[in-house]
Chains A and B, each alone.
Chain A
Amino acid sequence: DAKTTQPPSMDCAEGRAANLPCNHSTISGNEYVYWYRQIHSQGPQYIIHGLKNNETNEMASLIITEDRKSSTLILPHATLRDTAVYYCIVRDTNNAGNMLTFGGGTRLMVKP
């Protein structure tokens, strides 16, 4: 699986958009980009995933660059409850295993 690089921490003001970057320069053509988050002491929670096109759901938007070497997770109106560690994971969806590899992630602090 392609390795991902994320900043270790970020701050965001409550009500503003939080833009979390992820570099995955070695991504291959059949690998998807997944985002999970982990609120303190809880199990990780799936947010969104995409292959090439930008994606949006009720939680967030995912912007993937045209060369697919990086992506940005956008929380449009961050709230205090969005304070969490956000993990960017690249994974081949055709792989039969269950081996999502979680790196260090980005610790997002939403401040009032």
Chain B
Amino acid sequence: NAGVTQTPKFQVLKTGQSMTLQCAQDMNHEYMSWYRQDPGMGLRLIHYSVGAGITDQGEVPNGYNVSRSTTEDFPLRLLSAAPSQTSVYFCASRASGANVLTFGAGSRLTVL
């Protein structure tokens, strides 16, 4: 049982490049979400999903796309990276009926 797995752990992009941050969980959790954390700040919700095929926007969705084709996977796509998207990204999941989040180890993204 690996929990929530995020890849890559580190990534450097140039402005305008695209990439996908991967998130997978093996706990059969229905709810998955992406947060970003800027230096010295708390976490801000980007997008979340309450089940396969269902996604919704969080607090800071602009510049990011998500999809949820399976229960296990919830990738976060940056279509055209900007320096303002330099941050640490955390994926989290929880079971239906519970309100305790399990977080991944994070993906540190730098956009030059």
Which of A's residues lie within 8 Å of B, judged by CB?
32, 34, 36, 41-46, 49, 87, 91, 93, 96-105
Contacts and interface: CB of A to CB of B under 8 A. Distances in A.
A43 B45 contact: no
User: Would you call the interface of chain A mostly helix, strand, loop, or mixed?
Assistant: loop
Nearest to B97: A93
Interface residues of B, number: 28
B79 interface: no
B58 A103 contact: no
Interface of B: 4, 31-33, 35, 41-45, 48-50, 56, 58-59, 88, 90, 92, 94, 99-106
Given A98-B50, A103-B42, A43 B90 contact: yes
Contacts of B88: 41
A44 B41 contact: no
Given A44-B92, A102-B35, A104-B41, 6 more contacts: A43-B4, A43-B104, A98-B33, A98-B50, A101-B59, A102-B43
Contacts of A42: 105-106
A87 B106 contact: no
- Top 10 A-B pairs ranked by shortest CB distance? A43-B103, A102-B42, A102-B43, A98-B48, A98-B33, A98-B31, A46-B100, A93-B99, A44-B103, A103-B42
B100 to A, nearest CB: 5
A88 to B, nearest CB: 11
Given A41-B106, A43-B92, A100 B58 contact: no
A105 to B, nearest CB: 6
